[in-house]
C-alpha cells in the first residue's frame, strides 16, 4: 500500500462478504471500518443510524459536515472522523462514481457464486426453500448463481477501468481462498498488502464502527464471530450436499463461459488464487 493512503474501498456484490471482511480490516492498526458511508447521505437522520446520539464517530456535527462535502469525500471524512485510514464497504460502483467518489485504494472481494447463492436463499427464504421441489430449487439456484456471476464481472471490469484511467491500486481477494489460509498465511498476506500493519483483535471492539447493513455484527459487537483467525470463520460449502455432482458440473460449465471475468482479473493484483474460477 502507498504510505499516503487515507481511504480504502471494498467492491463486491450485495451479500458478498464485505461486512465481515471490512471488520477484519478494522482489526489492523491504523485502519477503521465505517461500513457503507454513502448511507449518511440518505434518509433524514442527523445522527448515526446505529448508535444515535451516543455515536463517538458519526455525531450530528460530523454528519452535517460530511453531507456538505463534495466528491470525493473519503479522505475528508477520515479527517472529520479522526481516522488514519478509513475503510468503507460501499461495494457498488454506482456510489463510488455518483455519490461519494473514488477512494485512494480499492479491494475487490470475490465470493464463489454457488456458496453465495445457497447462503442467500436459505436465509432469505428460510424454511420455505427446503419445502420446494428439487426441480424448482435448482432452477432458482442456477438463475441466482448466474446473476451473481455476471455482477462479479461487472464489478471487476469497473475496477480495472478505474485502475487504468486513474491509477488507483486495485487488489483482488477470493473470500474462500483467504479463509482457507492458516493463521500465519492470513497474517503474512494482509501485512504485506497493508504495508506491514499488524493485526490486533482487540481493535475490533474498541475501534470498529459500522453504519447500516448487517446489524448482528455491527460496531464490533460479535468480535469472535467475525475473526478470520483460529478457525472461527469457515467457508460455506453446504451447497455441495444439496444437488447432484452432475448438476454442478453443468453449472460450472455455464459459469466458465463468462471468460470476461478472467480477462479483467488479469489486469489487477490478485492476492489469492480463485480456485473455483480456475485462476
The predicted-structure confidence for 155-199, as pLDDT tens digits, reads as follows 999 999 999 999 999 999 998 888 888 777 877 887 778 878 887
Percentage of residues in the chain having pLDDT higher than 70: 81
pLDDT band at 226 (very low <50, low <70, confident <90, very high): very low
What pLDDT digit, counting tens, does each position of 260-269 carry? 899 999 999 9
In percent, the amount of the chain with pLDDT more than 90 equals 28
210: confidence class by pLDDT, cuts 50, 70, 90: low
Q: Mention every residue, 6+ apart, whose C-beta is less than 8 A from residue 83.
A: 32, 34, 77
Asked whether residue 1 carries a pLDDT value surpassing 50, the answer given is no
- CB-CB contact of 80 with 64 (8 Å): no
Provide the 3-class DSSP secondary structure of residue 167: coil
Between helix 113-124 and helix 134-166 the angle, nearest 10°, is: 120
Burial class (CB in 10 A: 0-12, 13-18, 19+), 161: middle
Residue 152 pLDDT greater than 80, yes or no: yes
Give yes or no for residue 72 having a pLDDT over 90: yes
User: How sure is the predictor about 116, in pLDDT bands with cuts at 50, 70 and 90?
Assistant: confident
Which of 7-21, 29-43, 121-135, 143-157 is predicted least confidently? 121-135
| Residue 97 confidence class, pLDDT cut points 50, 70, 90 | very high
Cα–Cα dist 202/87, whole Å: 17
Confidence category of residue 204, pLDDT binned at 50, 70, 90: low
Band of residue 225 on the pLDDT scale cut at 50, 70, 90: very low
Residue 229 pLDDT greater than 70, yes or no: no
Cis peptide leading into residue 27 (ω within 30°)? no
For residue 58, what is the DSSP state? S
Q: Which pLDDT belongs to residue 251? A: 83
Task: Spell out the residues 6+ positions from residue 167 whose beta carbon is closer than 8 angstroms to its own.
Answer: none
How far does CA 59 lie from the centroid of its chain?
A: 25
Output the CA–CA distances (angstroms, integers) from residue 256 to 105, 124, 146, 268, in the order listed: 29, 27, 10, 19
Q: For residues 50 and 47, which has the higher predicted lDDT (pLDDT)? A: 47
pTM, 2 dp = 0.87
User: Which of 17-31, 174-188, 214-228 shows the lowest mean pLDDT across its residues?
Assistant: 214-228
Q: For residue 100, what pLDDT band results from cuts at 50, 70 and 90?
A: very high
Lowest-confidence pick of 10-19, 74-83, 129-138: 129-138
Query: CA 24, CA 200: separation in Å to the nearest integer?
Result: 10
Tell me which of 188 and 104 has the higher pLDDT. 104
Give the distance from CA 196 to its chain's centroid. 21
- 155 and 106 in contact (C-beta within 8 Å)? no
Letter string b/e over residues 103-140, b meaning 16 or more CB atoms within 10 A of that residue's CB? bbbbbbbbbbbbbbbbbbbbeeeeeebeeeeeeebbee
Amino acid at each position: 500500500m502507498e504510505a499516503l493512503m487515507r481511504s480504502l474501498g471494498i467492491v463486491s456484490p450485495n451479500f458478498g462478504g464485505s461486512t465481515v471482511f471490512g471488520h477484519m480490516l478494522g482489526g489492523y492498526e491504523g485502519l477503521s471500518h465505517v461500513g457503507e458511508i454513502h448511507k449518511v447521505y440518505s434518509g433524514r437522520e442527523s445522527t448515526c443510524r446505529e448508535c444515535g446520539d451516543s455515536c463517538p464517530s458519526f455525531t450530528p456535527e460530523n454528519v452535517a459536515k460530511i453531507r456538505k462535502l463534495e466528491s470525493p469525500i473519503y479522505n475528508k471524512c477520515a479527517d472529520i472522523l479522526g481516522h488514519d485510514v478509513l475503510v468503507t464497504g460501499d461495494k457498488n460502483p454506482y456510489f463510488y462514481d455518483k455519490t461519494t467518489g473514488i477512494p485512494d485504494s480499492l479491494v475487490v472481494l470475490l465470493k464463489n457464486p454457488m456458496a453465495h447463492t445457497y447462503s442467500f436463499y436459505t436465509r432469505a427464504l428460510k424454511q420455505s426453500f427446503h419445502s420446494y421441489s428439487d426441480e424448482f430449487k435448482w432452477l432458482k439456484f442456477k438463475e441466482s448463481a448466474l446473476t451473481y456471476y455476471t455482477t462479479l464481472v461487472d464489478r471487476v471490469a469497473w475496477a480495472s477501468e478505474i485502475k487504468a484511467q486513474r491509477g488507483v491500486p486495485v487488489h483482488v481477494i477470493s473470500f474462500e481462498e483467504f479463509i482457507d489460509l492458516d493463521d500465519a498465511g492470513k497474517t503474512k498476506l494482509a501485512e504485506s498488502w497493508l504495508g506491514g500493519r499488524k493485526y490486533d483483535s482487540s481493535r475490533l471492539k474498541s475501534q470498529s464502527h459500522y453504519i447500516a447493513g448487517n446489524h448482528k455484527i455491527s460496531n464490533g459487537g460479535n468480535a469472535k464471530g467475525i475473526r478470520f483467525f483460529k478457525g472461527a470463520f469457515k467457508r460455506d460449502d453446504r451447497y455441495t450436499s444439496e444437488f447432484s455432482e452432475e448438476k454442478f458440473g453443468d453449472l460450472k460449465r455455464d459459469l466458465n463461459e463468462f471468460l470476461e471475468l478472467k480477462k479483467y482479473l488479469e489486469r489487477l493484483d490478485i492476492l489469492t488464487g480463485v480456485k473455483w474460477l480456475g485462476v
